[in-house]
Amino acid sequence: MQLRNGLILLTSILFLSCSVEQQSQVSIFQKINEEVLANSRAYETLGEATSTIGHRLTGSENGAKAEEYTYNLLKGYGMEDVQYHPFEVESWSRGDIEVKIGSRTNKELASAVTLAHSPVEADINAEIIDMGNGLEADYAAKPGAVGGKIALVYIGILPGSPEGTSNLHRSEKTALATQNGAIGIIIINQVPGGVLLTGTASVTGSLIPIPAVCIGREDGMALKEKIKSQRQYASISMTNFSEVIKARNVIATIKGSELPDEIVIAGGHLDSWDLATGAIDNGIGSFAVLDMARTFQALKLKPKRTVKFIMFMGEEEGLLGSRQLVNEAIANGTIDQIKYVMNQDMSGNPKGFNAGGRPEAVAFFDEVGAQIMSIDSTTFKNDNSNGAGLHSDHQPFMLQGIPYTSSNSNLDRSIYGCYHSDCDDFDLVNKEHMVNNVRFSSMMLYALADADELPAKKLNDLETKEFLEKRRLKLKLKIGGDWRWDD
């Protein structure tokens, strides 16, 4: 009987301890909520940066101004440990372009934009071959069709494609066209209204051997129809610039109270393309991270683990800043100190969080999400997911087995029509959505950094390989040259 009573007492103590800990975390969440609602500067600082700096292309004068702006902003928030993390890489910027499309002898000027990392100089004239979605299956169905020709591919998945068709990134589609002998590629945007999309066509961040351009949806679909009845040709002439440039990630650090050698990163890429101001891609993400740092500093939050708030540069041109940081951590033996990454890329108004393809982490995100819902169940729905993808700054960390998370954004889909285009400006930004992201992401970041035990551990090399294969990322990584394992 005494043993039974003792077990009951012990169980009660453990339950009470757990309950008190949860109450403590919820009280911190409440403080975060009140601070952000009252004092958030995410929207205002993004508005100031877009109006005074403009675009934030890596290696450009504007890019350097953006680095300095965010460094000074973090120092102004009272953060003591703010550092530049410099690196040098080959960078790219656009020059002139002329694209003409039509019959062999009668071509008309077409509206087009150069895709990044196209050659410094190109002048080609060849037949256009419609390669559908530009996937491996399309080339297998037309072997040798694009040798010495210009491939025409759709950036998304065309209506009527086989059910379950998996898409590739524009850079991967360009790599496949190159591998199959194409001397140029024309990519059709999927956004209506003649919107032209830029972005890198390189899987490595280095120059590609063929010119790559984007044309509008309407022009592209009309061209596909013409090709059915008459051969179409294109002349593509362009000049671009490529040189080794200096850029800087900006890193603000809050040292952990109990586990200072364990690091949780909250990052977002500061850089943008040069056609507009990059307010959505990725102003809303990077300036949310800046305001998360402000929030932690204002509340003097000191979670168990060290938190690093990072403005990555060079994401758009091949994850340059995040790759550099990871490569240096591998070289100096500190990579194992990085325990978790929260990536903020085009994020806003979260309805939940992504567990990053790690099933063992789902329960944690559900539990913390329920606590967030106790603060605001109107906006936050604890609608969590568990997927793993590529082409943002979490990728270099994920390839080293480091778990990551991102917010499940609930933004108006119409804003994505301006992705990488000349309409990505501040008028697309919703202040309430930015504030919501800062509120909920700060809560989740604190929960991760202060957890007694992290929801997912760093995978070893074999486990990382198996994880990537299970998530069907092997082909994309092989095309991009990031698959380091022998088959």
**294, 439 contact by CB (below 8 A):** no
Task: Give the orientation angle of helix 362-375 with respect to helix 431-450, to 10 degrees.
Answer: 130
What the block records as the tokens of 362 is 């789902």
The strand pair at 352-354 and 404-408 is best described as antiparallel
Q: Per CATH, which fold does 104-231 belong to?
A: Glucose Oxidase; domain 1 (3.50.30)
Domain spans in the chain, listed from the N-terminal domain onward: 40-90+244-479, 104-231
| Secondary-structure percent of the chain, ordered helix, strand, coil, rounded to 5 | 40, 25, 35
The single-letter code of the amino acid at 12 is S
d(CA 428, CA 213): 26
d(CA 320, CA 271): 11
Residues in the chain: 487
Element (H, E) at 371: helix 362-375
**309, 293 contact by CB (below 8 A):** yes
d(CA 424, CA 409): 18
Q: What is the pLDDT of residue 21?
A: 64
Residues in Cβ contact with 451 at an 8 Å cutoff, skipping those fewer than 6 apart: 304, 364
Q: What is the pLDDT of residue 20?
A: 54
d(CA 171, CA 467): 23
Would you tell me which CATH number, out of the four given (3.30.70.100, 3.40.630.10, 3.90.870.20, 2.102.10.10), belongs to the domain 40-90+244-479? Answer: 3.40.630.10
d(CA 262, CA 164): 40
| Ramachandran bin of 210, using left for φ above 0, alpha for ψ from -120 to 50, beta for the remaining angles | beta
* Sequence-ordered alpha helix ranges (H) in 202-253: 217-229
Task: Enumerate the β-bridge partners of residue 122.
Answer: 238
Q: pLDDT tens for residues 309-364? A: 999 999 999 999 999 999 999 999 999 999 999 999 999 999 999 999 999 999 99
**Which stretches of the chain score pLDDT less than 50?**
10-18
d(CA 236, CA 219): 16
Q: pLDDT tens for residues 6-55? A: 555 544 444 444 455 667 999 999 999 999 999 999 999 999 999 999 99
Residues in Cβ contact with 219 at an 8 Å cutoff, skipping those fewer than 6 apart: 110, 111, 188, 194
Q: What is the DSSP string of 115-181?
A: PBT--SEEEEEEEEEE-TT-SHHHHHHSTTTTTTSEEEEESS--TTPPTTPPP--HHHHHHHHHHTT
What the block records as the tokens of 328 is 């240096």
**74, 250 contact by CB (below 8 A):** yes
**407, 333 contact by CB (below 8 A):** no
Residues in Cβ contact with 333 at an 8 Å cutoff, skipping those fewer than 6 apart: none
Residues in Cβ contact with 441 at an 8 Å cutoff, skipping those fewer than 6 apart: 266, 288, 292, 342, 344, 347, 350, 407
Q: What is the C-alpha end-to-end distance of the chain, expressed in Å?
A: 61
**Which contacts qualify for 154-160: CB closer than 8 Å, 24 or more apart?**
154/187, 154/188, 154/190, 154/220, 155/187, 155/188, 155/189, 155/190, 155/197, 155/214, 156/190, 157/133, 158/132, 158/133
Q: What is the pLDDT of residue 16?
A: 44
What the block records as the tokens of 334 is 């500190």
d(CA 394, CA 266): 10
d(CA 181, CA 483): 23
Burial of 107 (0-12, 13-18, 19+ CB in 10 A): middle
The rounded radius of gyration (Å) of the Cα atoms in the chain is: 24
**339, 402 contact by CB (below 8 A):** yes
Backbone angles phi, psi at 181, to 5 degrees: 95, 5
Distance of CA 139 to the CA centre of its chain: 28
